[in-house]
Chains A and B, each alone.
Chain A
């Protein structure tokens, strides 16, 4: 997405949230549809079951609906919405007493695997990510898949910047061990650093 397109999206999100604060259900639907894919992808790192993902997304938008009038533009709308989803997901996870619902390799539905994309490296990466503690996994997801800055991740997770850096550091260290091609020290920088 170009910078202009990003700014346009941010502006539209703000307009929609103002309308939601005024009780506009159509605006809520537009916001919901705009965020659904992103949130579903993000939350699938919490739980592999779509019904759980959907429940967290809907709980998130219930909060958005009820709290939109309290949004003071202290952060971007996306940071606010994803922060609500993050906390709602953690709360849901805690309600289940343990992380048994968190994604494990055995729970991957087969249809998620596209043979054309499922390379050996992809498999290592998936395994590596699933071995990370949830906070580290989500820090990586927020940075690498959702493209959030360090400060935005700190806002979303309500942690100091130093904590986010520490989670990322540990995630990188553990992933390094999960990726034999990289962990062995024989990684070809010039081949992959494009």
Chain B
């Protein structure tokens, strides 16, 4: 740093140095940009800082980033909005701040209704147990694992298991986004067989499925089109 011929520059140094990132991203107004440039001409340290910041700026803007197709997310938001429109607003008016979730208020008749539902469930359970237990004693367990060799549809490319809480709208949105359709399923284990709806590579569709929280499991059944 050489400020011998302009002592005021030394006092300006911290202030100008702090502006360098915004000089790099081009958002300083003209007057501030000129101040920075005038200081840079005299300050080797700030010139070095500038070089570093430009380096970081370029690095951050060339960093790889996985692109996500927003269609499924948007459909999910629209489904949320459909649900929310019937409910009271959960947002405070000021400044778009998310507000605390409104407390649920129990209505007087809800307790009686819950009690009667529980009573009916117990009664039905007793009837079902009476019929099911003798049956179970006669029949061998009939199940298979997800990875067991079972007959599959010829056009199946992916097998997937979705969250038990997924709605049909959400599932369809995910399948649309991944350009897949259901050809069979769900099995007892909840496995769907999916076929390709387009010429999109299977591994891309697989990656999209795996990117969704609502997809619990997804694997390719096409040899060589498995994990990336």
Contact = CB atoms under 8 A, between A and B. Distances in A.
Given A118-B64, A145-B60, A172 B73 contact: no
Contacts of B68: 36, 40, 50, 53-54
B221 to A, nearest CB: 20
B59 A121 contact: yes
Overall SS of chain A's interface: helix
B18 interface: yes
Interface string B50-80: 1111111101111111111010011011101
A64 B73 contact: no
Interface in A52-69: 53-55, 57-59, 61-67
Contact of A125 (B19, B51, B60): B60
Given A169-B18, A172-B52, A32 B77 contact: yes
A160 B174 CA distance: 42
A61 B27 CA distance: 27
A65 B74 CA distance: 13
Nearest to B49: A172
Contact of A50 (B63, B89, B211): B211
Contacts of B65: 41, 44, 112
Nearest to A129: B60
Given A179-B52, A182-B52, A126 B63 contact: yes
Nearest to B79: A58
B21 interface: yes
B164 interface: no
Overall SS of chain B's interface: helix
A144 B66 contact: no
Contact of A61 (B55, B64, B77): B77
Interface residues of B, number: 53
Nearest to B203: A111
B76 A58 contact: yes
B81 interface: yes
Given A144-B61, A193-B51, A32 B70 contact: yes
A180 interface: no
Contacts of A84: 96-98
A58 B77 contact: yes
A140 B48 contact: no
A180 B213 CA distance: 38
B59 A122 contact: yes
Contacts of B73: 36, 54, 57-58
Nearest to A52: B213
A63 B91 contact: yes
A143 B98 contact: no
A135 interface: no
Contact of A192 (B54, B66, B81, B96): B54
Contacts of A192: 51, 54-55
Contacts of A122: 59, 62-63
The 8 nearest A-B residue pairs measured at CB: A51-B213, A149-B27, A67-B96, A36-B70, A66-B91, A125-B59, A189-B51, A193-B51
Given A58-B76, A110-B228, A141-B60, 6 more contacts: A50-B68, A51-B212, A67-B91, A112-B66, A165-B18, A175-B56
Interface of B: 18-19, 21-22, 24-28, 47-57, 59-68, 70, 73-74, 76-78, 80-81, 84, 89-91, 93-98, 207, 211-213, 228
15 contacts: A36-B70, A58-B76, A58-B77, A62-B91, A88-B98, A114-B64, A117-B63, A121-B59, A122-B59, A122-B62, A147-B25, A147-B27, A149-B25, A150-B27, A189-B51
